[in-house]
A and B are shown apart, each in its own frame.
Chain A
């Protein structure tokens, strides 16, 4: 029996709007949380605040100019995105980059994976509530690698260094020493962050057993990258569908056991170590030689055809579906965004948790809004 007084105390669920400008949304993501007290009972994600037509614009510029939209789309792992785009064009054009260019690409892509994961760690730690200290630690290490990129390409973020067929110019003389030094420094840096975060009891209790997603669900939602590997599925395109020269290197694929937020964090930490391993092996094996094929045409005209090229980016499977109907410009260029697919599972992960967990779970997806909205 409900008394009059109890009826007056009826509670309502309120909608809390997080974003598009909110410290936790890593950009301009917006989600409307329906909360009952501190529990989230429903979440409606809204994206598209940064939809700026990279696909449409790529159709209107030629193949070399289209590279700049790859940088700006995947703005935390630019080299990986450039690599995917270049390989898609190469597959259609029948170009084969020379050995040295392949090694340079692998080294830069793996270093870029490290910088991207550093960015994740910084932002994720801030989501769990660390007052910028993990962020500055991660950014210090990130800057070391970025200095190499800067010295090599002339820009800190939008490199535009790869070309269909190879790379634009050769690496400087001190490249190998600098990369070797940075590999050592990265190992130290990861250990630093390990000591700061990984074994911190509060951090563990914040991340453990939240945002769990099972393996069948992960496949069903089309998750990829560390999100998928945290569920225990050792699927990595570098191993399962080797592109470029990834089959020449020894590296481990870390997988999680629980599929929760903490596993995603650990998988990313371990991936950084494996990336360092790959970079070191690639430095050992890197031959001398040309960086562009001899017969590379000055103006790329692709034969008609369609190709879906995919690479393993820090956030998952990055795909370029390229339709050519002859000519200098792509007829259609679709960017398969790992973040977009990873975000589809957001509702299943968040509902039932606390508001504070919602922020952490969103952080563990490691979204890049440029890639989600394109």
Chain B
């Protein structure tokens, strides 16, 4: 079935000259993909799966609700992106106050060590599936403040980051681009997320 033919690992490497049959079989065996929560795979077996995960990923990417999580200067540009000039609502992206109802955490600004436990806690409070966007150079690697020891050198030291948006601060267009990247990523990884 077409669905099962997913990436076979690294096929571009030259095969070993002394390839035995077992090795060949091993090489051609499809990589097992972890599907932890894909409950619809039991509900909707067989051919229906491909459209089902497509549709669900489509729904997810069309309705990304970020948590309002402005930390520093980047928060102003994040607000600009929500406002009428750039209007993230066009993409179905509306800010939400509580982490319980959000899908994506836009870390907009410098994460300090005093703030770090709260960032982690908020990430843990968000329900799955969840994504993180590191907005700006401070959230990516500490930015201009990276040499100061109270500043965490990038939020990826605390939570897994999906998209990094460069800039200090990124323009709203860059943030929109980052969110579109995230949408593409959701579509690409639709088989992995239940």
Contact = CB atoms under 8 A, between A and B. Distances in A.
Whether A and B touch directly in their complex, counting CB atoms under 8 A apart, is answered as yes
Interface of A: 20-23, 27-28, 48-54, 56-57, 60, 68-69, 72, 75-76, 119, 135-136, 139-140, 143, 156-158, 369-370
Chain A CB within 10 Å, residue with most, of B71, B73, B97, B110? B73
B168 interface: yes
Contacts of A156: 77, 80, 169, 171
A369 to B, nearest CB: 7
Nearest to A27: B70
A20 B115 contact: yes
Interface string B99-135: 0000000000110101100100010000000000000
Contacts of A50: 71-72, 109-110, 112, 115
Nearest to B69: A21
Contacts of B83: 135-136, 139-140, 143
Given A72-B72, A135-B83, 12 more contacts: A21-B68, A48-B112, A50-B72, A50-B109, A53-B148, A53-B151, A57-B145, A75-B76, A139-B83, A139-B85, A157-B76, A369-B72
Contacts of B71: 27-28, 49-50
Contacts of B118: 20-21, 49
A57 B144 contact: yes
A-B pairs, 4 with minimum CB distance: A53-B148, A139-B83, A75-B73, A52-B145
A72 B145 CA distance: 10
Contacts of A370: 72-73
B93 interface: no
A256 B5 CA distance: 73
A28 B76 contact: no
23 contacts: A20-B118, A21-B67, A21-B118, A23-B68, A27-B70, A49-B118, A50-B112, A51-B150, A52-B138, A54-B145, A57-B145, A69-B144, A72-B72, A75-B76, A139-B79, A139-B80, A139-B84, A140-B85, A143-B80, A156-B77, A156-B171, A158-B73, A158-B169
A53 B168 contact: no
Contacts of B144: 57, 68-69, 72
A52 B76 contact: no
Classify the interface of chain B: helix, strand, loop or mixed: loop
A52 B151 CA distance: 6
Given A75-B73, A139-B83, A57 B148 contact: yes
Contacts of B182: none
B90 interface: no
A53 B146 CA distance: 10
A193 B77 CA distance: 22
A72 B115 CA distance: 18
A77 to B, nearest CB: 12
Given A21-B69, A27-B75, A143-B85, A53 B169 contact: no
A205 to B, nearest CB: 24
Nearest to B145: A52
B147 interface: yes
Contact of A27 (B72, B80, B97, B114): B72
Nearest to A68: B144
Contact of B112 (A51, A56, A68): A51
Contacts of A119: 76
A143 B172 CA distance: 12
Nearest to B109: A50
B172 to A, nearest CB: 8
Nearest to B87: A136
Contacts of A157: 73, 76-77, 169
A79 to B, nearest CB: 14
A130 B54 CA distance: 38
